[in-house]
Amino acid sequence: MSIEQEVISQAEKAVSASREIARISSREKDQALNLIADKLIDKCDDILAVNEKDMEKGREAELSRALLDRLMLTEDRIKGMAAGIREVAQQEDPIGESVKMWKRPNGLQIGQVRVPIGVIGIIYEARPNVTVDVAGLCLKSGNAVLMRGGSYAYHSNAILTDVIQSALQEAGLPKSAVQLVRTTDRQAVEVIFKLNNYLDLLIPRGGAELIQRVVNESRVPVVETGVGNCHIYVDKDADFKKALAIVYNAKTSRPAVCNAAESMLIHKDIAAKFLPEVFNLLKKDKVELRGCENSKKISEEIKLATEADWGTEYLDYIMSVKIVNSFEEASDHIYKYGTKHSEAIVTENYTTARKFLAEIDAAAVYVNASTRFTDGSQFGMGAEIGISTQKLHARGPMGLKELTSTKYVIMGDGQIRE
């Protein structure tokens, strides 16, 4: 069977499974999700052994330490994945929720209710935890899912899918509700782009190149996610202790994820004092700063930034830094180079903080907090299928409700239109 035939066959099975998953009860969904969590813990050693194969391949390919961290699974991370699945199970089931209801003068009772989207496709790069998050969210929201992961995480994605499918079978549900395209051949991606007769939505998770390719080439409707050139603006009225902790966390806790800070803007009134402090702090983790000419005058070790640096999502231990003359200059810089993902200001000035919240155009805007909180679990959603940076259908972390559509239900008593 060719790659095209195999992928289409999987899509057909997903469509069939989606009809069954859409009508099962919340209790059945939750039982299946908790069973998945149990099996993740039971199979922890096997999962770690398989993940080490992917880690070895990544080291041979000389992936950066940030990307290797993104690829790596540990016992704690697997426990975290299981906990996330259980948290999704505890969330209120959105399916069947009445969004609104009203009665017309002719007696028609009209309601709008939440329903599953159907079959969701997801194309993602080397983050094995995405496999589990996506499966959990899609099942709880009544959707089937077809996944195509990155080649570096191939073995990890495969064993995680096996664990999920085993739990589904044990729960009496179709294992084809959660499927992984099991090939690293890029032709499979091209086939997925053409599955508009099978997939209802396609979500890319990864770097800018992947996302733009999906947006530009897919016939399936796409939610654009993930690219995060996130900024932290350290205002002239910032508390230095807060600012240092926020910048350090946002850049170094997990630099290869989309909510990590890539750019730092510093008001000129505090730059001479603050920049050396934050430079020395980031230096502990070997973070390379690429800055404007004024920042280089303050700290000579800073590498001079190019125009490209201002718009780059590094996903690494690199950060651009620019000294700005005013709030307005910071806002203009974010507008020009930001990706509408997550933006933060550090300030003790209430008026400036409110102005930032009102004027900055992004899916998430922060005052005195790290951009790393833009995450489904951190927002209380259990997990998210991606961070939408567009404005239609969904924006920000996409949880259960963002994986639903609606339909109108109309109750009559023999009414006809005149």
Written as one letter, the residue type at 394 is: A
- On average, the pLDDT of the chain sits at 95
Q: Collect all residues with Cβ–Cβ distance below 8 Å to 60 and sequence separation of at least 6.
A: none
Alpha-carbon distance 120 to 205, whole Å?
13
Confidence at residue 392, expressed as pLDDT on a 0 to 100 scale: 84
- Per-residue model confidence (pLDDT) at position 128: 94
Q: What is the Cα gyration radius of the chain?
A: 23
* pLDDT (0 to 100) of residue 226: 73
222 neighbors 199 (Cβ within 8 angstroms): no
Output the pTM of the full model: 0.88
- Which tokens is 346 given? 């550090």
In the DSSP assignment, the letter for residue 390 is S
Chain length of the chain: 418
Q: What is the pLDDT of residue 100?
A: 96
CA 394 vs CA 199, 204, 385, 405: distances in Å = 18, 14, 11, 11
Q: What is the pLDDT of residue 329?
A: 98
Q: How high is the pLDDT of residue 224?
A: 86
Lateral strand order in the sheet of 119-124: 178-180, 144-148, 119-124, 201-205
Query: Which residues is 366 bridged to in the sheet?
Result: 344
pLDDT in tens, 146-182: 999 999 999 999 999 999 999 999 999 999 999 999 9
pLDDT digits (tens, 9 = 90+) for 13-40: 999 999 999 999 999 999 999 999 999 9
pLDDT, greater one: 199 or 257: 199
Structure tokens at 24: 């099962």
C-alpha distances out from residue 158 to 13, 48, 85, 178, Å: 18, 12, 18, 11
The residue written with tokens 């508390």 in the block is: 239
Band of residue 126 on the pLDDT scale cut at 50, 70, 90:
confident
Where residue 44 falls among pLDDT bands split at 50, 70, 90?
A: very high
Tokens of 338: 């930001």
Rounded average pLDDT over 306-310 = 97
Mean pLDDT over 317-325 rounds to 98
Instruction: Render pLDDT for 185-238 as a digit per residue (tens, 0 to 9).
Output: 989 999 999 999 999 999 998 888 888 899 999 999 999 887 899 999 999 999
Query: What pLDDT does residue 399 have?
Result: 93
Closest CA to 259 of 402, 120, 65, 389: 389
Amino acid of residue 355: K
Rounded-to-10 torsion of CA 101, 103, 109, 114: -10
Angle separating helix axes 44-60 and 154-170, nearest 10 degrees: 160
Q: How confident is the model at residue 108 (pLDDT cuts 50, 70, 90)?
A: very high
131 vs 140: CA distance, rounded Å: 14
Q: Can you tell me whether residue 11 is helix, strand or coil?
A: helix
Confidence at residue 96, expressed as pLDDT on a 0 to 100 scale: 95
- Residue 391 has a pLDDT of 86
Give the distance from CA 228 to its chain's centroid: 10
- 55-104 residue pLDDT tens: 999 999 999 888 899 899 999 999 999 999 999 999 999 999 999 999 99
For 360-402, the pLDDT digits (tens) are 999 999 999 999 999 988 998 878 898 999 888 899 999 999 9
349: left (phi over 0), alpha (psi -120 to 50) or beta: beta
Name, of 35-49, 59-73, 121-135, the range with top average pLDDT.
35-49
* pLDDT score, position 104: 97
pLDDT confidence band for 264 (50 / 70 / 90): very high
Which domains are assigned to the chain?
Answer: 3-223+398-411 (3.40.605.10), 230-373 (3.40.309.10)
Distance, CA of 135 to CA of 133 (rounded, Å): 6
